[in-house]
Structure formats: C-alpha cells, structure tokens
Chains A and B, each alone.
Chain A
Amino acid sequence: MGFSAGKRKSRDEAVTLSDLNDDVLERVLSHLPTSSYFRMTSVCKRWKSTQTSTTFKLACSRVPSRDPWFFMIAKDSTSSSSSFVYDSTENSWKNLNRSLLLRHRRDFTPVASSGGLLCFRSSVSGDFLLRNPLTGSSIDLPWQDDNKPLQAVAMTTSYKLVTISGEVPNLCFRFYESSSCSWSKEFELVMKNNTEDGDDTETVYFLSKSGNVVVASNTLLRTPSKQYSSVITVKDNVETVYFLTSHGTIIACDLAKRSFTHLPKLLPPFLEYSIDLVECNGTMFVVLLSEFYESASLRIWKLEDMNWVHVGMLPPAMSHELYGRKGDINCVGGAGGNKILVCFNADLPQVCCRYFVYDLVGEEWSELPRCFKDGEAVEFVSALSFQPRIEATV
C-alpha cells in the first residue's frame, strides 16, 4: 500500500506544480500572505497572470481576513515621496510602489481606513479620496461644504464612509455608501442626557511643580493627524461612531437611534495627557498617556456598560522613558486583528518617535524597530491600518 521506493516507474516523476489547473493554482496563491504573493508573481508567467485574473480576485475575496499592514504617516506628509508600510506578517518595513502614490495630490492627508481601502481628505477642498494602496484603484468623493466644522470621519467595510459635523450640542451625520454611490442627506443627532454629566466649563485649579496655583488647561492640543480621530464599531447591526472633542472627552454617536452621549471621563482634567481611540474586532478602546508622580504611564481601557475597564498597560520601565517629553500618541487598531499600534512622538528634548504594539490576545507589548531609508531614519507620527488585499476595489 502506498508508495514504496523503487517499485514503480511513476516514482521517478518529479513533483511539479505546472500541471495544476487554474482554479486550484489560484486558490493556493490566494492563501499566501500578500507579500509572499507579490514575490511569487516572479516565478513564472502563469503565476504572474493571476494578478489580473478576475477568478483569482474572487478567490482572494473568500479569504476571511488578512494580517494588517500599517500605513505610516510621516511628520511632514507633504514632503514624503514614498509611502511606508509596516507588514505585521513579516515584521518588516516596506516601501509601496512609487507609481501608485498620490503624486499630484499633495493636499490629501489620510483620515480613515477599512478593509483593504484607505480614505484621504483634501485640506484644500474637503473632498475625499478612497484608494487601495496596493493596486492604486481609487475614487473621488466630492464633499458638499455646509460650513459646519467636521468632527469625525469613519469608515466601515465594503464600504461606507460616515462623517459627523457641527458643534456640540448640534451634531449631524452623513454617509456615503458604495452601493448607492452617493452621499445621503444630513441626519440630526440628538443629545441624550447623561445623568453623570459634570459641568464641562468648571474651572479647575491645581498646584504645579514649582508651587504656583495654575488654572488647568481644558483644551486638548490636536495635531493634524488627530483632527478627525474617530472609530466606528458595528455590533448587532448598530453602528456607533466615537470621536474625541477638543476638550479630550469622548462622544459616542448611535447612528441607528440618531443620538449621541458624552462618555464618562477617564481622568481628571488637570493631568497632562494624550488620548486616542482605536477599534479592534468591534470594540472601542481608549489609549491614554498620562504623567503622574514623576513618571508616565500608557494604559488601554475599554467601555463596558458605561464603565471603563482597564485592559493593559505598557511596562512602567518602558513608559518611564516617555516622561517629560510632552509627547502625543496616535493609535490605531489592526484591521480585523487583535493588535493596537501606539505611535508616540515628541519634540523635546529631541525628536523622538517610538511605536508600541499591544497584542490583546497574548496581553503582550512589543516595539517596532526604527525605519531607515538610504541610511536615514524616517519618523512617523501616526498610522492607519488596512488589510493588504489586491481584490479590494472602490
């Protein structure tokens, strides 16, 4: 039974993949991580031809999820002539093909992402641009300016773009769906009263290190990368958009009920801090960098029944290195994965950019190596996560 050596002629036949039929070959290649797949297209003409095959793209769309790549946003995004990504499968930095870059569109900054697509917004016209960073497939979404300040931009898979505009308490939302190819009308969001509502405008005084009585600053300084910092979660068909206000509080918008609430505050307002929101597997997490008792701590919290639950904390030895730098954190959840990327950047006493990754399942922290191009370090302030899918189209 089976193959016993030397007994049959067929034993000498080499094992080859050349005889596989197209369907089977495409299925095999669709299971490869995207980086591996790109390398494999250099094996032979037949394998390369899968890149433009409709059936191959269909096979790829059946792969339920892929490890996220992080699309990095450099400090000075207008000067960068390349796109950098961090491949979480191969744990290495990569450079995206130049010809797929937004060469003529320097005013576009990345604002949201979902599935295999990235969303950019023009700082000049306010128009949006959706793009698959691997294939360059893109679409322009013109924005109708209604003179209301834009608070949040969020995106869900295949695809739906949601925007929240206005000033609290007069908020409204609008969305663009790929199925309808048009913007919806504006929907008003009604503020739901929170019984714990404290007075946001109360002045708080505290004792600074030098012994002076100081008025606490209530305004969160927002770097451009955090301007529309928001996430969207979809649970039991209910879409909720969470975003940060300029006071550093979090507002949750229930799109089905068309209402919004202020979430309970995590920290008293007089502490130095930087805060950001991420979404991971349908749950919203808050990442908080705070300075207290001569050290800094980086913690992750999640909301459970309107109470904050502590999820994880960067080892104190590592977070202490972030102390005293007045750093800012910009965070993102690995698209579909269980990882949270925290980009820390500070200018004092010298430029310092560090990238920490928290694995929600293993409850482990790790740090990404610095990225070098042509011998020079490239510094990033923020990132968007996406799934590297060549089949994702707009």
Chain B
Amino acid sequence: MSKIIVLKCVGHNPKDFELDEAVAVQFGCIKDLFHSDFDAESKIVVDVPMKFNSYIIGRILEFCSSRASFSSDRAYWEQDFFHPCREPNQRKRKELIAIMEASEYLGMESLVELTTQSLANYLKGKNPLTIRSLWKVEGDLTAEEEAKALAMGVAKLGH
C-alpha cells in the first residue's frame, strides 16, 4: 500500500536506495511525488546525478532516518554525525562540500542550513590568504582592489 521512491546512484559504486515516506518527505524535490496521481503500489525511480556518489547519498539518508521525526538538530549534526574539527583534513572538507551540494540539489533545507553553517565555521576568523590556499580559490583581485576590500567597512584598531 505504501509508495516507494528509489534513488538511483550511478558512478563508481552504483547503488539503489529505497526511501519510505517519512524519509522521502524531507527532500523538497521528492515529497511532491507522494501527492501526485499514480498507483499506490508503484515505484518511482529518481536518477541522481553522477557527481553525488552513493556514499554521500548514504550519509544523507543516515542523517534523515535517524532524525526523520525531528526538526534539524545542530547538536546532533555536530557531535554525533559530522564531528567537526578546527582544522578539517581533505577528506572531511570534501565530504562536507559533497553533502552540502547534494542536499541543496535534493532540496533538503535543514541539511543545507547545517552544512553551510559548518563550512562558515571553518572559514570564520581566518586570513583570506589561508582560505585561498586551503580551499583552492583563485585570487583574481588586483593588489589595489584587495587592499581596498580589506579596508572597506572596518579596520582593526590597536589597544
């Protein structure tokens, strides 16, 4: 009697994930499918873009099913699920960005909120040069533009 949504992941480790309603309604892009007009017994297959591999989708579903009945909980995300650290290694950074992008694609608002906050915490208080080297962002401002940007708004005073 229950509708089943299947997330089909391709790529290195192809895998199909079956979602029940409680989990699927957390995905903004999928929940409408439950209200559309089709046979109660049928299965709907959703193709997930290649860049979101099965590991990441698996992690997201892990998050959803354990918190399916609660609203997004920051304490849970930080302590039990994501384990943030001051200087995240490459693997951790990659995982955070992948989960962030995948949850944005799938329309999982609460997880987008949590992941963007976590990423902001990694960036906060750091020197722009450090940010560029750590997160591989190319600095394309001229020296003058850069100096102007740093002077804009606020300049720190000594004490």
A interface residue numbers (CB < 8 A to B) = 1-3, 8, 10, 14-18, 20-21, 23-24, 27-29, 31-36, 38-45, 47-48, 84-85, 87, 90, 92-97, 134, 369-373
Chain B, 37-65, contact with A by CB distance < 8 Å: what is the 0/1 string?
00000000000000000010010000000
Nearest residue, chain B, Cβ from A41: B149
Residue contact B116 to A28, C-beta cutoff 8 Å = yes
Contacts of B153 in A (CB 8 A): 34, 38, 96-97, 134
Known contacts A20-B97, A28-B116: A43-B159 contact under CB 8 Å: no
Contacts of A373 in B (CB 8 A): 157
Alpha-carbon separation in the docked complex, A40 to B130 (Å):
11
Known contacts A27-B116, A42-B146: A94-B156 contact under CB 8 Å: yes
Known contacts A18-B137, A97-B154, A373-B157: A48-B149 contact under CB 8 Å: yes
Tell me if B139 is interfacial: C-beta within 8 Å of chain A. yes
Contacts of A15 in B (CB 8 A): 90, 93-94, 97, 135-136
Residue contact A29 to B120, C-beta cutoff 8 Å = yes
Tell me if B128 is interfacial: C-beta within 8 Å of chain A. yes
Residue contact A372 to B159, C-beta cutoff 8 Å = yes
Residue contact B135 to A17, C-beta cutoff 8 Å = yes
Contacts of B158 in A (CB 8 A): 372
Contact of B131 among A2, A34, A40, A96 (CB under 8 A): A40
Residue contact B119 to A1, C-beta cutoff 8 Å = no
Alpha-carbon separation in the docked complex, A90 to B159 (Å):
13
Contact of B101 among A1, A20, A84, A369 (CB under 8 A): A20
Residue contact B151 to A44, C-beta cutoff 8 Å = no
How far, in Å, is B150 (CB) from chain A's closest CB?
A: 5
Task: Please name 8 pairs of A and B residues whose Cβ atoms are closer than 8 Å in the assembled complex, sorted by A.
Answer: A1-B58, A15-B136, A31-B121, A42-B141, A44-B141, A47-B137, A92-B159, A97-B152
What's the interface size class on B, roughly? 35 or more
Known contacts A31-B120, A36-B125, A95-B157: A24-B100 contact under CB 8 Å: yes
B interface residue numbers (CB < 8 A to A) = 12, 55, 58, 90-91, 93-95, 97, 100-101, 104, 112-113, 116-117, 119-121, 123-128, 131-132, 135-141, 145-146, 149-159
Residue contact B159 to A24, C-beta cutoff 8 Å = no
Residue contact B93 to A43, C-beta cutoff 8 Å = no
Residue contact A17 to B137, C-beta cutoff 8 Å = yes
Nearest residue, chain A, Cβ from B119: A28
Contact of B137 among A39, A43, A94, A369 (CB under 8 A): A43
How far, in Å, is A15 (CB) from chain B's closest CB?
A: 4
Residue contact B154 to A94, C-beta cutoff 8 Å = yes
Alpha-carbon separation in the docked complex, A23 to B109 (Å):
12
Alpha-carbon separation in the docked complex, A47 to B141 (Å):
10
Alpha-carbon separation in the docked complex, A189 to B145 (Å):
55
Residue contact A31 to B128, C-beta cutoff 8 Å = no
How far, in Å, is A98 (CB) from chain B's closest CB?
A: 10
Nearest residue, chain A, Cβ from B124: A36
Contacts of B131 in A (CB 8 A): 40, 43
How far, in Å, is B38 (CB) from chain A's closest CB?
A: 31
Contact of B123 among A32, A41, A134 (CB under 8 A): A32
